[in-house]
A and B are shown apart, each in its own frame.
Chain A
Amino acid sequence: MTDTVSVSGLSVRAGDRVLVEPLDARIEGAHCLGLIGESGSGKSLTARALVGLLPPGIVASGQVDFGGNRIDLSLPDRDAAWGEVRGRRAVLLLQDPFTSLSPVHRCGEQIAWSFAARDRAVSDSSTRLGRRSHRRYAAEVAALLAELNLDEAVAQSFPHELSGGQRQRVAIASAMATRPDLLIADEPTTALDASNQGEVLDLLRGLQRQRGMAMILISHDLGLIRGRADEVVVMRAGHVIERGETSSVLSSPRAEYTQALIAANPSIESLGHVHPDDAIASTSTAAHKATSLLEVRGVTKAFGGHTAVEAVSLEVGAGEILAVVGESGSGKSTLARCITGLEMPDAGEILLNGVPLPAGRRGRTPGQMQIVFQDPYSTLNPIFSVRQTLAEALRASGRHGADSEVDELLARVGLDASLAARRPSQLSGGQRQRVSIARALAPDPRLLICDESVSALDVLVQADILDMLAALRSSLGLTILFITHDLGVVSRLADRVAVMSGGALVETGPTVQVLNAPKHPYTMRLSAAARSNSLLANQGEAGGSHDGV
């Protein structure tokens, strides 16, 4: 069992602005503290302050105590000052496994760097990390990989050859290799697919307990924290809103904000309760049989030798919301790009209202369909004001782009007309995504395609946007094809679901039926994983005993 870690008076400032108010915490060995908050709440800054790795211009103050060794958090970022802490005392595990590993080094070597750093810190020798010195740690690397259920061959692989889940396990291995007292995991599974998230988190939690390490688990997703953190701290805008034992905070939250977070958490379990949209869902399912707006017939698309989409056929009825679900790499985005003409399918046909559409964008009109992408930060032209962006979209669809038309579009997506003068950089993520939805609505499209359009947003914002999309469907009679990896989002919004795996469509049906009684093994696994991570699942034992690797 490692030493108790206690943090006292940790605060973070940028100039005069306080980003994180003084915060105290105490984590015993083998215990896990959950840190919950939306983006901008200061949870990531707190994590980085503990290892002295704040971005330039941002400073921390306060102290952290590792079993009697006090470290001043305001020390400058130098090896001499922080060498004692980093690796040996605390290690940071980052969110995105696609960027947190060096792309040009083999995974085994990257894990070996941690072993070498630990050895040097312990023996205090000045052995340099030679070009081939990582071979010395081959046996230790192999043992660690085995503990993380990874194949031995992973040591010889480059990160790009591995899946997201495998990469994150390599990142965990490289963090564990230094045997720190405290592991700080900053949203360690947010970039992973639903079926991988629970597995990786449980593995992390298991190893941490087994080694008696303390852990800070940072997340925006309350469902993932449940059963995995002993205590939880809810943060908002740098303040601690609520703290306490995880189960009691989740079952009886005191702060209004925590209650809102829990209510907004998209949960697959909400299907079990009375669904407010049930009436609409059943009527539109009936309507779907009468008129189908979009028909996809045998669409196939390959890149190089790899088939991304294989003979996919599906139909979307007028006024229906169809969700396409699958993990990353399952071909769902490629399918969307083929439907919108951004990608040329190798084979197959796409029909709108029974009329075949030309492949590619030539010969199409903006009013046929529009797409909304995932990342609201890169989808808007940064030098255009909101008004310019929307006016351009209106003109592109043959309208005037007058101020009144722009205001009408803004009202439709629930934005105040006063925001029209702002640039994207002056908007929040949710506001940006509303602007990009408004832009897509400019030509009055028959079909709206949303490609993971809420995945990059915070839970509360996500819920608002999903409600808005449902309202747009009712008021405009919009048909929506919603691509997502999140079954919680599906159950909140979709009438029907199409499940994709490895480029093929494996199951289609009404949402309630597919989620509650999945037929295909892949859908079963996805549904089970989503259930165990869901907030409303049985509060007793920590869920996460699903199988499959």
Chain B
Amino acid sequence: MIAARLAGVVAILFVISIITFALLYFAPGDLVKNLIGTRPVNAETIVAIRDRYNLDDPVVVQYLTWLGNALRGDFGESIRMQEPVSLVVGQRIGLTAVLCGLSFLIAIAVSIPLGVASAVRRGSVVDKAATSATLVGLSAPSFVVGLILLYAFAYYLPIFPVYGSGDGLLDMLYHLILPAIALAASLGALLMRLTRAAMVRELASDYVTSLRSRGVRSREVNRIALRNATIPIMTGGGLVLTFLVSGTILVEAVFSLPGIGTLLQDAVLYKDIPVVQAVTLLLALVIAVIALVVDFSYLAADPRVRARFVGGRP
């Protein structure tokens, strides 16, 4: 089963690489013009450039050339920066990873306790306030949240820096707090709703009635119910976790952070196919891995799934 899943991931990556390559090939814009810019043009330069990037080959050959190199671990050279793609991506991946991780932690730390509290005290002030707040988080795009945060906490109240990524880990964390909150808003809102719905269902179930009639305290009952609710929370949470990966592109742009998102944005505008290909595949791989991890975490969370997986009686 694991082998089948891994094969599926490889197949998906393959299909995605074809689609991005084709989309970029058919997109308007000319790489030659991008490279030459405003400098005077002569025919020889154009021929040289077209030759260097194999632009005269049929698109299928261009793709196969790229695929052959990629399979050997060579993702080519960034056309715009004239550096190996692996180096360019490597320089920027750390920031994006920290940004995503930080915003994931913020989302979990806020939304799960809030979801539990709302479910336990349904209809209370806490529940109503939290539910309305999630409506904002769900409907406001992350770049709008980002701009509002910038205005409020970097310009009006200058507590946080306006842009940049800082030096060293601590300074970087400090610089990333506002972007991480902007990125966490929609994910956290979804997680809170999921947690609330799952907890409401668990708290209405028979085993909770049974526990309470046995005199087990509410705190413990909530903890036990939350343990049961992790299964639906993980299902939904795993799916929306991928939002983070795509949301980082917008947030990095708003906060001018030199991460993977801005790299991808620039590369698309410049028709820098090697970079776009590599970053898209990287993002797809991350999403596939997240999905895989979520599936396997069921094994840890649910003994019934574990029993089916190991085999034996259904």
Report which of B216, B313, B314 forms a contact with A87, defined as CB distance below 8 A: B216
Shortest distance from the beta carbon of A46 to any chain B beta carbon, whole Å = 14
Asked whether B303 lies within 8 Å of A158 as measured between CB atoms, the reply is yes
Asked whether B209 lies within 8 Å of A86 as measured between CB atoms, the reply is no
A93 to B209, CA, bound (A): 9
A455 to B209, CA, bound (A): 25
Shortest distance from the beta carbon of A137 to any chain B beta carbon, whole Å = 13
Segment 78-126 of A: residues with Cβ below 8 Å from B: 79, 83, 86-88, 90-94, 96, 99-105, 113-114, 116-118, 120-121
Chain B's interface size range is 20 to 34
Report which of B213, B223, B301, B314 forms a contact with A53, defined as CB distance below 8 A: B213
Q: B31 within 8 Å of A by Cβ?
A: no
Contact status of A92 and B210, CB under 8 A, knowing A83-B215, A158-B303, A304-B314? yes
Shortest distance from the beta carbon of A459 to any chain B beta carbon, whole Å = 23
A22 to B174, CA, bound (A): 65
CB 8 Å contact bits of B277-314 with A (1 = contact, 0 = none): 00000000000000000000000011110011001111
Number of A-B residue pairs, CB cutoff 8 Å, is 107
Shortest distance from the beta carbon of A187 to any chain B beta carbon, whole Å = 12
Asked whether B304 lies within 8 Å of A160 as measured between CB atoms, the reply is yes
A114 to B219, CA, bound (A): 14
A83 partner residues in chain B, CB cutoff 8 A = 215, 217
A93 partner residues in chain B, CB cutoff 8 A = 210
Asked whether A100 lies within 8 Å of B227 as measured between CB atoms, the reply is no
Asked whether A79 lies within 8 Å of B218 as measured between CB atoms, the reply is yes
A303 partner residues in chain B, CB cutoff 8 A = 314
Dominant SS at the B interface? helix
Shortest distance from the beta carbon of B104 to any chain A beta carbon, whole Å = 24
A158 partner residues in chain B, CB cutoff 8 A = 303-304, 307
Q: A305 within 8 Å of B by Cβ?
A: yes
A304 partner residues in chain B, CB cutoff 8 A = 308, 311-314
Contact status of A88 and B206, CB under 8 A, knowing A304-B314, A305-B311? no
Asked whether A86 lies within 8 Å of B205 as measured between CB atoms, the reply is no
Asked whether B206 lies within 8 Å of A118 as measured between CB atoms, the reply is no
Shortest distance from the beta carbon of B305 to any chain A beta carbon, whole Å = 10
Report which of B210, B227, B303 forms a contact with A94, defined as CB distance below 8 A: B210
Report which of A96, A114, A160, A161 forms a contact with B206, defined as CB distance below 8 A: A96
Chain A's interface size range is 35 or more
Contact status of A51 and B210, CB under 8 A, knowing A99-B205, A158-B303, A305-B312? no
Q: Which residues of A come within 8 Å of B, CB atoms?
A: 48, 51, 53, 79, 83, 86-88, 90-94, 96, 99-105, 113-114, 116-118, 120-121, 128-129, 158, 160-161, 171, 174-175, 177-178, 303-306
* Beyond known contacts A104-B228, A129-B223: 16 more, CB 8 A cutoff: A48-B209, A51-B212, A88-B215, A94-B209, A94-B210, A100-B207, A100-B210, A102-B227, A102-B228, A104-B303, A113-B216, A114-B215, A117-B215, A117-B217, A174-B214, A178-B215
Q: Which residues of B come within 8 Å of A, CB atoms?
A: 205-207, 209-220, 223-224, 227-228, 231, 301-304, 307-308, 311-314
Rank and list the top 6 A-B pairs by shortest CB-CB distance, nearest first: A87-B215, A92-B213, A99-B206, A86-B215, A117-B215, A100-B206
